[in-house]
């Protein structure tokens, strides 16, 4: 059960209201049962379909009849301006094969498991530095303190000089806030960052560093390499995909462990359960609520519901992890689960390329936090906590906590 009382659901669920943003899972439970392929209207006025059952979500994540292609399917007024469209759409997440296959293959050559594992000591070091700054006791918004871990990691990976982190941070906050997309502020920040990233790439061509961006610049596959436009778009995708999602994972883990003291005590007593605890957070309240938008390439039927060619489809990753058909007692948060089924990192050709890094960061952040502080509690009532609005990302927008290294 979630900490909150489920809102009452009548015949039409409210997909964008405050109750849903705070706790979408009662609505998902209703949808899975009564309307598993649910037609609704997007804030932009277009019809869309939300798929909520695990088996359907998994199957359609890997079905070529649902394609990417924002520019192909969305009306121009629903797209970012042409000046920044290329960096937001010219990437593997928004491409179909064969373009996707090529971009992913080149990125995978640089983004290896070996590189990720080699990052562990550095991740631990950064987590320790951030915890040092928090001191032995106090009150903080964890998003602005320990939450900086994934940000620092992605900037280091890309080889962004420290003096420029602030600019990157501002853009990525805007870029993942679905409410600000298309605003003048969003456009200006994105344009500035695009120019900056192109300069960074030019610098690294001349003076390569030990970073992922430098590797991506030289990576070749049968003579084929990434163009400057593709490199810029790839850097944007990694920034967007790698920061706010992993911050949400860390924040959601802390929030749910505090909300379930028995589970927190179990994890403290048996720290070897940490990987399973992270997996349970991903299932129970993962950072990607829906996969990125997909479009029907032809008239299709999903569980008997017709979706016309060009129809916008949302695949409910968060809902899938609660489907009682696949996850017994899925509304319960339980770190003792084994063989957890979830689709928090997607499935099929677009499966998250950064999942190993995200899991590692989550484990290090939570492990170090619990080692450091014997007492952790929320500094606000659970009902007062603000959550990120929108259809794609999920997670606390802030996480005020109180902490003490010595038990009282
Ligand atoms: C807990 C943290 C994370 C979650 C929940 C997450 C979730 C996802 C999901 C669901 C997808 C597939 C979306 C779809 O099919 O529409 C995806 C793709 C992707 N993610 Fe992540 N992600 C996380 C962390 C990261 C990190 C740390 C990075 C990189 C540093 C990253 C980079 C990417 C990229 C590049 C793709 C596109 C892959 C493709 O299209 O082939 N993600 N992620």
Give the pLDDT confidence of 293-340 residue by residue, as tens digits. Answer: 999 999 999 999 999 999 999 999 999 999 999 999 999 999 999 988
Separation of 269 CA from ligand 1 center, angstroms? 32
List residues bridging with 296 in a β-sheet. 66
Decide: 67 in ligand 1 pocket, CB within 6 A: no
Q: Where are the beta strands (DSSP E) in 159-262?
A: none
Ligand 1 atom with minimal separation from the 61 CA: 15
201 neighbors 213 (Cβ within 8 angstroms): yes
Find out whether 27 and 48 touch, Cβ atoms under 8 Å. Answer: no
Looking up tokens 């010595």 gives: 406
Residue 259 has pLDDT above 70, yes or no: yes
- Does residue 390 come out as left (phi exceeding 0), alpha (psi in the -120 to 50 range) or beta? left
Question: Do 279 and 272 contact (CB within 8 A), yes or no?
Answer: no
Segment 346-356, tens digit of pLDDT = 999 999 999 99
Q: Which is higher by pLDDT, 22 or 193?
A: 22
- Asked whether residue 9 carries a pLDDT value surpassing 60, the answer given is no
Domains and CATH numbers, the chain: 18-404 (1.10.630.10)
Mean pLDDT value of segment 124-151: 96
Tokens representing 247 are 């911050």
What proportion of the chain, given as a percentage, has pLDDT over 90? 68
| pLDDT tens digits, one per residue of 199-214 | 999 999 999 998 999 9
Question: Residue 71: its pLDDT value, please?
Answer: 77
Average confidence (pLDDT) over 257-272: 98
pLDDT of 175 > 80? The answer is no
C-alpha span between 391 and 40 (Å, rounded):
12
Residues 66-70, mean pLDDT to the nearest whole number: 89
pLDDT tier at 255, thresholds 50, 70, 90: very high
DSSP character at residue 384: G
- CA torsion sign, 235 to 181 to 401 to 16? negative
Q: What is the pLDDT of residue 60?
A: 98
pLDDT at 101 over 70: yes
Pairing mode of beta strands 312-315, 47-51: parallel
Residue 90 pLDDT > 80 = yes
Does the beta carbon of 60 sit less than 6 angstroms from any atom of ligand 1? no
218 vs 222, which has greater pLDDT?
A: 218
Give the whole-angstrom CA distance, residue 376 versus residue 382.
Answer: 14
CB 281 within 8 A of CB 256: yes
Mutate to test the pocket of ligand 1, among 230, 345, 359 (most ligand atoms within 8 A of CB): 345
Q: How far is the CA of 108 from the centre of ligand 1 (A)?
A: 13
Q: What pLDDT, on a 0 to 100 scale, did the predictor assign at position 88?
A: 83
Q: How far is the CA of 354 from the centre of ligand 1 (A)?
A: 6
- Ligand 1: nearest atom to the Cα of 153: 30
Q: What is the pLDDT of residue 408?
A: 80
- Residue located via tokens 């200006």: 188
Q: What average pLDDT does this structure show over 183-211?
A: 88
Segment among 217-221, 229-233, 285-289, 322-326 with least mean pLDDT: 217-221
Instruction: Give the pLDDT mean for 13-33.
Output: 90
Contacts of 199 (CB under 8 A, 6+ apart): none
Ligand 1, atom nearest to 291 Cα: 16
| C-alpha pair distances (Å), 245 with each of 4, 344, 354 | 23, 11, 10
Opening angle at CA 271, ends 270 and 274, nearest 5: 120
Q: Is 318 in the pocket of ligand 1 (CB under 6 A)?
A: no
In the chain, the percentage of residues whose pLDDT exceeds 70 is: 95
Residues 97-117 have a mean pLDDT of: 89
What integer pLDDT is reported at residue 177 of this predicted model? 66
Average of per-residue pLDDT across 270-293: 97
pLDDT for 7: 47
DSSP E strands, 68-227:
137-141
Residue to substitute in 241, 294, 314, 359 for testing ligand 1 pocket (most ligand atoms within 8 angstroms of CB) = 241
**Closest ligand 1 atom to Cα of 362:** 1
Phi, psi of 17 (to 5 degrees): -75, 170
* Centroid of ligand 1 to alpha carbon of 219 (angstroms): 21
Return the bridge partners of 3, or none.
Answer: none
| Ligand 1: centre distance to CA 111 (Å) | 13
Q: How sure is the predictor about 237, in pLDDT bands with cuts at 50, 70 and 90? A: very high
Distance from C-alpha of 99 to C-alpha of 127, rounded to nearest angstrom: 37
> Which has more pLDDT, 284 or 7?
284
| CA 138 – ligand 1 centroid, Å | 33
**What pLDDT does residue 113 have?**
83
Q: Which helix (H) or strand (E) holds 312?
A: strand 312-315
93: Cβ below 6 Å to ligand 1? yes
Q: Which residue's CA is the nearest one to ligand 1's atom 17? A: 352
User: Bigger pLDDT: 42 or 320?
Assistant: 320
Is the torsion defined by CA of 95, 297, 345, 48 positive or negative? positive
C-alpha 263/C-alpha 369 separation (Å) is 15
Nearest-atom index, ligand 1, CA of 287: 5
State whether the beta carbon of 357 lies less than 6 angstroms from ligand 1.
yes
Q: How far is the CA of 355 from the centre of ligand 1 (A)?
A: 7
In this predicted structure, what is the pLDDT of residue 12? Answer: 64
Q: Is 291 in the pocket of ligand 1 (CB under 6 A)?
A: yes
Whole-number mean pLDDT of the chain?
A: 90
Contact 317 CB / ligand 1 (< 6 Å): yes
Residue 258 has a pLDDT of: 98
The C-alpha atoms of residue 91 and residue 194 are separated, in whole angstroms, by 14
Q: What is the pLDDT of residue 205?
A: 92
> How many CA atoms, within 13 angstroms, populate the side-chain half-sphere of residue 365?
29
Compute, in angstroms, the gap from residue 379 CA to the centroid of ligand 1. Answer: 31
**Ligand 1 centroid from CA 172, angstroms:** 15
With a cut of 50, say whether residue 5 has pLDDT above it: no
How many CA atoms, within 13 angstroms, populate the side-chain half-sphere of residue 236?
31
Task: Tell me how far apart the alpha carbons of residues 230 and 130 are, in angstroms, rounded to a whole number.
Answer: 33
């Amino acid at each position: 059960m979630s900490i909150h009382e489920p809102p009452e659901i009548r015949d039409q669920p409210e997909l964008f209201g405050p109750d849903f943003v705070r706790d979408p899972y009662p609505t998902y439970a209703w949808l899975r049962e009564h309307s598993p392929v649910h037609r609704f209207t997007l804030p932009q006025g277009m019809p869309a379909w939300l798929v909520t059952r695990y088996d359907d979500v998994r199957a359609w994540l890997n079905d070529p009849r649902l394609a990417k292609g924002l520019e192909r399917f969305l009306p121009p007024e629903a797209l970012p301006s042409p000046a920044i469209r290329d960096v937001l759409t010219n990437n593997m997440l928004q491409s179909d094969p064969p373009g996707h296959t090529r971009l992913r293959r080149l990125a995978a050559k640089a983004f290896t498991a070996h590189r990720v594992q080699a990052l562990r000591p550095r991740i631990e070091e950064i987590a320790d530095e951030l915890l040092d700054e928090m001191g032995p006791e106090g009150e903080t918004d964890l998003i602005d303190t320990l939450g900086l871990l994934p940000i620092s990691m992605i900037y280091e990976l890309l080889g962004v000089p420290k003096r420029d982190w602030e600019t990157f941070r501002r853009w990525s906050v805007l870029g993942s806030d679905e409410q600000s997309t298309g605003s003048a502020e969003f456009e200006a920040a994105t344009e500035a960052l695009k120019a900056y990233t192109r300069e960074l790439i030019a610098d690294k061509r001349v003076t390569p560093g030990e970073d992922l961006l430098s590797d991506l610049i030289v990576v070749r596959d049968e003579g084929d390499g990434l163009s400057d436009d593709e490199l810029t778009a790839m850097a944007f995708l990694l920034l967007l995909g790698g920061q706010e999602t992993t911050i949400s994972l860390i924040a959601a883990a802390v929030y749910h462990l505090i909300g379930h003291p028995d589970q927190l005590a179990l994890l403290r007593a048996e720290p070897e359960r940490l990987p399973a605890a992270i997996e349970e957070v991903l299932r129970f309240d993962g950072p990607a609520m829906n996969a990125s938008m997909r479009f029907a390439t032809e008239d299709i039927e999903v569980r008997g519901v017709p979706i016309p060619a060009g129809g916008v489809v949302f695949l409910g990753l968060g809902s899938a992890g609660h489907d009682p058909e696949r996850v017994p007692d899925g509304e319960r948060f339980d770190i003792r689960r084994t063989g957890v089924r979830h689709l928090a990192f997607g499935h099929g050709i677009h499966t998250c390329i950064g999942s190993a890094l995200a899991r590692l960061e989550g484990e290090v952040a939570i492990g170090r936090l619990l080692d450091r502080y014997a007492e952790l509690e929320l500094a606000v009532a659970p009902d007062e906590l603000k959550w990120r609005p929108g259809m794609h990302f999920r997670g606390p927008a802030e996480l005020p906590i109180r902490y003490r290294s010595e038990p009282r």
